[in-house]
Amino acid sequence: MHKNSNPALPLKAAILIQRWYRRYMARLEMRQRYTWNIFQSIEYAGEQDQLKLSSFFSFMLDHVTQLNEPDQISHLLDPVDNLMNERERLTNYEQIIVPETYCGPRLTFPLTVCQTNTLLTAFKDQQPLHSRYVLQLLHETKKLLQQMPNIIYLSTPYGKEITICGDLHGRLDDLMLIFYKNGLPSAETPYVFNGDFVDRGKKSVEILILLLAYLLLYPDHMHLNRGNHEDHIMNLRYGFTKEVMQKYKTHGRDILKLTQDVFSLLPIATVIDYKVLIVHGGISDMTDLDVLSSIERHKVKSALKYPRRSLDHLELARSSRPSRWGQPESPRCDSHRSKSKNTRKKRCHLTRQGSASSSSSSSSSSSFSSVSPRRSFHSVLMLHPCPSPCIPSPTEALQPTREEVEWKQVVDLLWSDPKSQPGCSPNTFRGGGCYFGPDVTQRLLERHGMRLLIRSHECKQEGYELCHDGQVITIFSASNYYEEGSNRGAYIKLGRDLVPRFFQYQVSRATRKLTLTQRVRVGEGSAVRALQEKLFAHRSELMAAFQHYDKTNKGCISVNEWSLVVESVLRLDLPWRTLRPRLARLAPDGSIEYRSCFEDMGPGQPIPQVTPNLAETLYRYRTDLEIIFNIIDKDHSGQISIEEFRQTWRLFSAHLGVVVDDGAIDDLARTIDFNKDGSIDFNEFLEAFRVVHKLDTKDG
């Protein structure tokens, strides 16, 4: 029998296999990273769009008197609380009759353990809570929160631990799994939920009801911090408002109004043993716990609503220096109406964190200071060009008012993110709050004798992440946030020694059956599809820029030129060269056939009366248009009159600077009034402006 004469061969084979495996895993990790970057970049771009829309609404409310539109949005942006309204709401829910046929949970106050257990069981069985009890629960919660301080101080009980949870975002299964693994809230199992209970997921109502019920049951052992999504303006874009109106059509508006009050009364920070600070977003170099302890937090109904007097101060500054404000605006913000084909168009969007030279700027310029201004509005609106609705610096306006200072402090807590570089700079990627460095963290902790900052606000692949030499922990509790298998959820347990223990989980039976490669492929596919939709929505801008480089009209440009164009238009800060094989086809000579970027996508059911340019604008700003529609549609019926349709377009054209002829709008309205009853199904209209993936159509 022949014996192996070279004993080194098995070793060489093992080394080759190991080398192959390492390369395979490295490629897989790279795909995971760029998938993650795509999801996060698109998420933050959406937040920028929301801030810009809110900025526009704020300007309309504070400065425009010629139109009726401010009346349409005033109930959202400038709510007025008075005793009569409170009495009316109290009377409203007391007069609601619960029919005998209702078989869901019935609540009495004060709540009992039996009732919260019944709620849990009902929500597991898809049973809703009657609107009468929802309103009463919100009313009782509001009374409790009015007695609470801005910052909650806790002590870890002997022999027990405090559990800290991050963002849940309407994912009831994650909350149920936390309760199953860790125990229900009680004196034995205290909890801190660190904001962002609602939006994005489909069960925000149920999560909010459960958390508030346990808060009422165990006010000393259940603690809720406010997040940036506990905000009625954010809820318009990200789903909570729509969910409430779908589940509670009759009393939805009353529920939303009372929820708005509850959100504004939630504490903004929690401190454990005077050593651990818990806030939703982060801090800035101006964060002052003493100031935060004394503010009137209920006045900050929305962190997206600029203090009214800030805009008045800006107007004073503008009138005192007319020559400066008389200068034309930046071409970036003029791009939507630029007709030059020779100039590359740029979005009025913000990029990631700026140069290092800006890192020393304080939060006085960081709290939404990066939101871009809009140019003069549509001529139909008869408005003068508006200044930027940003908060002016002390050199540009009067001394900040108390309301401004309080607003900035709250914004920084709810919206900020940590960064690895020292200093504090505007959070330009999100559009609000700050980037705070390790030196900012260390100064605040030393000033207050603390050792740890726990925050949430950012999805992490493992559910948690440590930075700033372990002084900052990010905790995120919504698993599968972007896509099935995209991330784990996690929670923290803190005992008397204040050493954090992390517990991870992932809610999905389907995910557990997939291999790592399959999970990466699913997430990557979803991310690429979202990116393709972004490309399609900016088709005209991209084509104009591509053709600028394509001097010979061959339909091809270099990889470098293609990457440069896509980044300059989309501003997503992504590795375009790496992503190219998933987005565009190479020509035989190695250049890119740039029209191939749009081959796999097409429009929904096109409306002939809509021009291609206007249709592309609608693809791109479909969500903004839906938000404006929901504001106009006060009864949330899904139907609006032709006159309301005109009002929607006037707001939309003012927001974007899109010139739309009134006659064309009237013709369009009559065309889509299919049954000729004078009303329009707006959701049906928007469906025409949804990007359709052609492969999906073929598969169907």
Catalytic residue set: 229
CB 452 within 8 A of CB 283: no
The Cα–Cα gap between 568 and 562 comes to: 10
Q: b/e for 674-700, b at 16 or more Cβ within 10 A?
A: eeeeebbbbeebbebbebeeeeeeeee
Q: How far apart are the first and last CA of the chain?
A: 61
CB 476 within 8 A of CB 489: yes
Closest CA to 497 of 214, 233, 159: 159
Q: Which residues contact 640 (CB under 8 A, 6 or more apart)?
A: 629, 632, 633, 648, 679, 680, 682
Task: Report residue 213 as tokens.
Answer: 């019920």
- The beta strand positions in 274-341, using DSSP E, are 276-278
Q: Is the dihedral of CA 455, 458, 464, 465 positive or negative?
A: negative
The Cα–Cα gap between 456 and 470 comes to: 15
Whole-angstrom CA distances from 587 to 543, 558, 583, 595 are 17, 10, 13, 11
Whole-angstrom CA distances from 190 to 182, 186, 187, 217, 222 are 10, 6, 6, 12, 6
Q: Is the dihedral of CA 350, 353, 357, 358 positive or negative?
A: positive
The Cα–Cα gap between 685 and 683 comes to: 5
Three-state DSSP class for residue 599:
coil
Kind plus residue range of the DSSP H or E element containing 491: strand 489-494
- Give 300's Cβ-side CA count (13 Å radius): 29
Closest CA to 345 of 336, 354, 353: 336
Three-state DSSP class for residue 265:
helix
Residue 151 sits at the vertex; the CA angle it makes with 216 and 491, to the nearest 5 degrees, is: 70
The dihedrals phi and psi of 474, each to the nearest 5 degrees, come to: -100, 130
CB 367 within 8 A of CB 411: yes
CB 235 within 8 A of CB 199: yes
Alpha-helical runs (H) found in 64-145: 69-77, 83-95, 113-124, 131-145
The conformation of residue 167, written as its DSSP 8-state character, comes to: B
CB 404 within 8 A of CB 295: no
